Amino acid sequence: MFRPAIAYSSNGIIHRMTTCPVCQSGELTHHIEARPAEWEGRTGLVDLHYSICDGCGSEIVDQAQSVLNKANILAFRGDL
């Protein structure tokens, strides 16, 4: 299972020491981006986690990030 080590920097960006699974050479950097969301007429911003490869530029969402994203979306919807 894909379980990279996570380190939190002072600016809130999470840096993961992981190698890109697409090009096998670039290093992935974790980003958190507030993206617009809409649910039952309400609009807002949901923090979505993803990684960008500094080698090939691929945008990757791993399993841990997917779980975080889903939790954020559910929280936005008021389901939590």
| Residues at the contact surface with Zn ion, assessed by CB under 5 A | 20, 22-23, 26, 53, 55-56, 58
Beta-carbon contacts of residue 38 (< 8 Å; ≥ 6 apart): 44
Taking the complex as a whole, the smallest distance from the CB of residue 65 to Zn ion amounts, in Å, to 16
User: Which is nearer to Zn ion, 13 or 56 (by Cβ)?
Assistant: 56
Could you give the CA distance from residue 46 to residue 13 in angstroms, rounded to a whole number? Answer: 16
CB of 60 to Zn ion, least distance (A): 8
Kindly state the greatest CA–CA separation across the chain: 43
Cα radius of gyration rounded to whole Å, the chain:
14
In the bound state with Zn ion, the residue whose beta carbon lies nearer, of 50 and 76, is 50
Beta carbon nearer to Zn ion, 51 or 69: 51
CB of 36: closest distance to Zn ion in angstroms? Answer: 27
What CA–CA distance (Å, rounded) separates 74 from 68?
Answer: 10
